[in-house]
Amino acid sequence: MKTRTRFAPSPTGFMHIGNLRTAIFEYLVAKHEGGDFLLRVEDTDQARKVEGAIDFIYKTLELCNIKIDEGPNNEGECGPYIQSERIDIYKEYADKLVEMGHAYPCFCSEETLEAMRKKADEKHVPFMYDGRCSHLSKDEIKRRIDAGEKYVIRQKMPKDGVSVVKDVVYGNVKVENSVLEDQILLKSDGYPTYNYANVIDDHLMGITHVIRGNEYLSQTPKYNLLYEAFGWEAPVYIHVPMVLGEDGNKLSKRNGDASFMDLYEEGYLPEAIVNYLVLLGWSPDTNQEIWTMDELIAKFDMNRISKSPSSYDIKKLRWFNAKYIRNLSDEDYLKFIRPFFTLDVSSKEEEWVNKLLLTYKDHISYGKEINDIVSIFFNDDIKISKENKEFLESDELIPVVIKTFHDELEKLPSWDIESIAEVINIVKEKTGAKGKLLYMPIRIKVSGVEHGPELPDELYLIGRENVLNRLK
C-alpha cells in the first residue's frame, strides 16, 4: 500500500512553529517511502477562521519546499479537501453510526449540560456527559426530531474494558474505557467536530500514517472505536512530543509565540528553519547538523522520533540561520539582505553599499540584524563602553599604537583596503604591538566595539576622514 500522509491545519492565522514541525515530519514520512503528502484544511470551527489564512498555509509550505501532492489547490480523486465543503459526507456517516447503534442523537440543552458541570465541580470530579440520551427509544427520538428540537450526534463509548493504542513513538498505550466520554460527532449546526471529521476524512482519503502532537494520544481510542464501528483499518499512529517555548509552555499562536511568517519577515531563511525544526524531536544516526531537504527525505526514520518534549531555542535557530546565510553566493546574499537593509544610503555609491553588506555577511544571524550591526557607519556619535575604556587605559603601548596608526594613515596617497592593511603592518613593526594590543585599540577607537569584520575592510567603509577624526 502506498504511504499517504496529510497535513490538516485550521485556517486561524499564521502557522506556528510546532504546527510546521508536524507538517515537516508528515512530509518526510511520506516522501521517504515514495508516498503522497496531502493538504486538508480543517475549517469546521468557523468562528475562529481568519480571512486569508489558507493563503498563508500555501505560502509557508511553498517557502519550506514542501510540495503538496493533493489539496485544495491541487485536486486529486479524494476531494474536496476543505472540510466545510464535506458536510454532507459527515452527515451520511453519522447517520450510519446511529443506525448501527454506535452513536445516538443527544437533545440535552446547554442549561442541562451546565447543571451537570456544576455538579461535577461540587464533587471535585472531571465533568463527563452521563449518556442519558443514549437510552431514548426510537419513537422518542423521532418525535423530538419531528418537533424541531435541536440535537447533536454523540458516539456511544464502551463503559468497561481497556483500549490499546499502538503508536510508533510511545509503543502500546492502554486507556481505560471508563474515562472515554460519549464525544460529540456532529454539532447541532451540522458541522462535525475535529475528532470525528478526521477519522472520516483520513479513511476516505486513504491516509496510512497519522502524525500529530502527543496531546491527542489519549483521544486516539475514540478514533479507533470509530474505525472498528465501520470495519475500517486504522492508520499507523505517530504521536510527536511537544515543542516548548523558553518559558516551558507549549508553543502556541494564542500565547503570541513566533509563527513561521514572523521569522521569515525577520530574515530567517526557510531552509534554516526547516533544518532546525526537524532536529527538534528527531535525531539522525550521525552527528550531521546541516541537512538539505533531499538528504532529510533519504535519511528520515520515524522510529528515531523522541518521546521527550523539545525546547525551542532562538539562539540555536540563529546559529543555523547564520550558517545558511554564509553558504549563500554573494549574488544570492545581496538579493536576500537588501529588503531588510533600511538605513539611508541615498548619499552612498552602490559599490560602497554592496561592499558594506558583503563585509558583514559572516557576522549576521538574521536579516534585520544587519541594521544594528552596520549602524556605526551611519552614526558619528560613537559610544565606548566602560569596559573598553578600561582596556584602552590598560597598557602604556596602546596610546602609542593609536597615534602611530593615525600618523601613518595621514600619509596614505590612496584610500583602499590593501593600503590600510599595509599601514597596520607598519604599525606592528614600529611599535612591536601584535594581536590584541594591535587590533583592538584601533577598532575600539574607530567603531566603539572590540569585534567586527576584517579591520582594513571596516576602516575602508568608515572612510578616511571619519577614521582620522575618531583616532584623535
Categorise residue 435: left if φ over 0, alpha if ψ from -120 to 50, beta otherwise.
left
The answer to whether 25 touches 64, Cβ cutoff 8 Å, is no
Lookup: cell for 247: 518559558
The answer to whether 373 touches 360, Cβ cutoff 8 Å, is yes
- Cis peptide bond upstream of 80, omega within 30: yes
CB atoms within 10 A of CB 384: 15
Q: In whole angstroms, give the CA distance from residue 4 to residue 33.
A: 9
Beta-ladder partners of 213: 240
User: Which DSSP symbol is given to 282?
Assistant: B
The answer to whether 402 touches 471, Cβ cutoff 8 Å, is yes
List the one residue out of 35, 33, 40, 27 whose CA is nearest residue 67: 27
Lookup: cell for 456: 582594513
138 is catalytic: no
Query: One of 49, 59, 150, 253 is an active-site residue; which one?
Result: 253
Question: What φ, ψ does residue 282 adopt, rounded to 5°?
Answer: -135, 140
Question: What φ, ψ does residue 276 adopt, rounded to 5°?
Answer: -65, -45
List the one residue out of 171, 167, 209, 239 whose CA is nearest residue 33: 209
Q: In whole angstroms, give the CA distance from residue 103 to residue 226.
A: 10
Question: What φ, ψ does residue 294 adopt, rounded to 5°?
Answer: -60, -40
The answer to whether 98 touches 153, Cβ cutoff 8 Å, is yes
The answer to whether 248 touches 286, Cβ cutoff 8 Å, is no
What percentage of the chain's residues is helix, strand, coil (to nearest 5)? 50, 10, 40
Q: In whole angstroms, give the CA distance from residue 297 to residue 33.
A: 9
List the one residue out of 215, 202, 206 whose CA is nearest residue 170: 215
What residue ranges in 262-337 does DSSP mark as E strands? 310-311
Beta-ladder partners of 7: 39
Residues 6 or more apart whose CB falls under 8 angstroms from that of 242 comprise: 18, 213, 214, 215, 250, 251, 309, 310
SS3 167: strand
User: Which DSSP symbol is given to 253?
Assistant: T
Active site amino acids: 253
